[in-house]
Amino acid sequence: MASEDIKADFFQYLAPTSPHPLAIEVDRAEGIYIWDRAGKRYTDLVAGIAVCNLGHRHPRVIEAIKQQLDAYLHVMPYGEFIQGPQVALAKRLSELLPAGLDSCYFVNSGAESIEAAMKLAKRSTGRSNFVACKRSYHGSTHGALSVTGNENKKFHVRPLLPGVKFMDFNVVKDFELIDRNTAAVIIEPIQGDAGVRIPDSEYLKMLRMRCDEVGALLIFDEIQTGMGRTGTLFAFMQYGLVPDILCTAKALGGGMPIGAFVSSRERMQLFTHDPMLGHITTFGGHPVNCAAALATLNTLIDEKIIDEVEEKGRLFEEQLKHPAIKELRRKGLMMAVEFESPEVVQRVVQGCLEKGIITFWFLSDPKSFRLQPPLTISKNQIQESCEVIMDVIKGFDFR
Ligand code: PLP
């Protein structure tokens, strides 16, 4: 089919999410690159929004998918049959996580893991209130949206869940909102779509203490920060505490759709009675996606990819210096580059795209653009990418 026809059909038949999609017509993708049908090569510095941490089509992930395709696809909804890839992935994840995070429930997406974690917290505590953070993003379904701190995304679909309070991120005084009616506090340990907001070193530990004091659970949304993105397998590992429930998705599947929430075996048992089948999903833990996720996890660990994340992040930081850049916030390879206005961001993102570099916006921070490249990006590729970004920035008159 001719390129113009596909483009026309894209706008005609696919439900849109914005009036101005990037509309790159993807031909193929490999490593950190995506090629469009005209043969233009793009360097992907957002990794499909923190999904392709191993780059596109990592050979070990592709091989695992192929092997599973030849064995079986969907055979039964989650939880009934014993499926090797699910079991192996759950075991490996549990081995890599601290005590208390030893039982994995696989779902299909980030939002779904949040929904289920919220149900588990209600079941676990007998309470129904939640405390979340302003400017957070936890997903677009009703429950996840209820704990999302971005009014722009919510006002048109109210009523949402009652009993949700919002505290400022990284402000200890707001812990007074967490009380004996709180089922759980749900928080991104580093806020992603708020524009990469990094808490003070003691903040999360103090939050853990406050939750323990009032008997509320602590849910970490590591959907964006997980799978090595910030320099450790999960970001919480740098802060000296353990959440009660961990939500992951995005990069977990190495490019395939899978999410998980992880907690203790005792807590997870709650879904098995009163009522039985207390949380169910048909496709959760699809065997092909679990095989891809296991290969992703093993590759990240075996090839010591996470060990280099901080150094690579520093390379970006050292090279992206210009008076127009007001701030660069970063943890590992999770970065936000801030300018004085959304208009400047718009021009820089567009300018980079024209020169074959994909960057992207944040949902709740219009003055910054995101850089979240595949963790496999080489030092040379970082150098080359930064040179292009700097050329774009230097090309503007910021007066
Ligand atoms: N939580 C965080 C921190 C996210 O960044 C996202 C997606 O961007 C979600 C939840 C929702 O994940 P999904 O789009 O897979 O439902």
Query: Is the same domain home to 159 and 254?
Result: yes
- From the CA of 396, how far away is ligand 1's center (Å)? 33
CA distance 196 to 362: 9
**Best substitution site from 108, 112, 113, 138 to test ligand 1's pocket, by max atoms within 8 Å of Cβ?**
138
pLDDT at 4: 82
- From the CA of 192, how far away is ligand 1's center (Å)? 9
Residue having the nearest C-alpha atom to atom 11 of ligand 1: 139
Residue 43: strand, helix, or coil: strand
CATH number at residue 254: 3.40.640.10
């995101």: which residue's tokens? 370
- Ligand 1 close to Cβ of residue 31 (< 6 A): no
- Ligand 1 close to Cβ of residue 133 (< 6 A): no
pLDDT band, residue 75 (cuts 50/70/90): very high
**Average pLDDT, whole number, for the chain?**
97
- Ligand 1 close to Cβ of residue 308 (< 6 A): no
Asked if 207 and 177 count as a contact pair (C-beta separation under 8 A), the reply is no
Give the ligand 1 atom nearest the CA of 114. 10
pLDDT band, residue 31 (cuts 50/70/90): very high
Give the ligand 1 atom nearest the CA of 144. 10
Q: How many domains, the chain?
A: 2
pLDDT in tens, 181-205: 999 999 999 999 999 999 999 999 9
Does a structural domain hold residue 239?
yes
Among 250, 271, 302, give the residue marking a domain's end.
302
- Ligand 1 close to Cβ of residue 249 (< 6 A): yes
Query: Is the same domain home to 47 and 72?
Result: no
CA distance 371 to 352: 12
Query: Is the same domain home to 167 and 64?
Result: yes
Share of the chain above pLDDT 90, in %: 97
Query: Is the same domain home to 114 and 38?
Result: no
CATH number at residue 20: 3.90.1150.10
pLDDT band, residue 6 (cuts 50/70/90): very high
Query: Is the same domain home to 211 and 354?
Result: no
Check pLDDT > 80 for residue 270: yes
Query: Is the same domain home to 268 and 318?
Result: no
pLDDT at 351: 96
Give the bridge partners for 151, in sequence order: none
Query: Is the same domain home to 124 and 42?
Result: no
Does a structural domain hold residue 97?
yes
Does a structural domain hold residue 238?
yes
pLDDT at 104: 98
- From the CA of 194, how far away is ligand 1's center (Å)? 12
Question: Judging by DSSP bridges, how do beta strands 327-331 and 26-30 pair with one another?
Answer: unpaired
Check pLDDT > 70 for residue 283: yes
Give the ligand 1 atom nearest the CA of 139. 11
Overall residue count recorded for the chain in this entry: 399
Query: Is the same domain home to 122 and 77?
Result: yes
Q: Which domain holds residue 34?
A: 3-54+307-394
- Residue 228 identity (one-letter amino acid): G
Q: Return the DSSP state at 21.
A: -
The pTM of the whole model exceeds 0.85: yes
Residue having the nearest C-alpha atom to atom 13 of ligand 1: 110
Query: Is the same domain home to 163 and 143?
Result: yes
pLDDT at 370: 98
Does a structural domain hold residue 399?
no
Query: Is the same domain home to 86 and 34?
Result: no
- Residue 94 identity (one-letter amino acid): S
Does a structural domain hold residue 170?
yes
Give the bridge partners for 219, in sequence order: 186, 245
CA distance 306 to 55: 13
Check pLDDT > 90 for residue 3: no
Check pLDDT > 80 for residue 399: no
Q: Return the DSSP state at 15.
A: P
- From the CA of 233, how far away is ligand 1's center (Å)? 17
pLDDT in tens, 326-363: 999 999 999 999 999 999 999 999 999 999 999 999 98
**Best substitution site from 52, 223, 331, 361 to test ligand 1's pocket, by max atoms within 8 Å of Cβ?**
223
Query: Is the same domain home to 201 and 132?
Result: yes
Query: Is the same domain home to 34 and 158?
Result: no
Mean pLDDT of 277-294: 97
pLDDT at 51: 98
Among 250, 277, 302, give the residue marking a domain's end.
302
Give the ligand 1 atom nearest the CA of 111. 16
Asked if 104 and 89 count as a contact pair (C-beta separation under 8 A), the reply is yes
Check pLDDT > 80 for residue 166: yes
pLDDT in tens, 102-127: 999 999 999 999 999 999 999 999 99
Tokens coding 301: 């660990």
Check pLDDT > 70 for residue 58: yes
Asked if 306 and 231 count as a contact pair (C-beta separation under 8 A), the reply is yes
Mean pLDDT of 361-371: 95
- Ligand 1 close to Cβ of residue 115 (< 6 A): no
Among 281, 302, 323, give the residue marking a domain's end.
302
pLDDT at 314: 98
Q: Return the DSSP state at 20.
A: S
Report the candidate in 117, 61, 126 with the shortest Cα–Cα distance to residue 295: 61
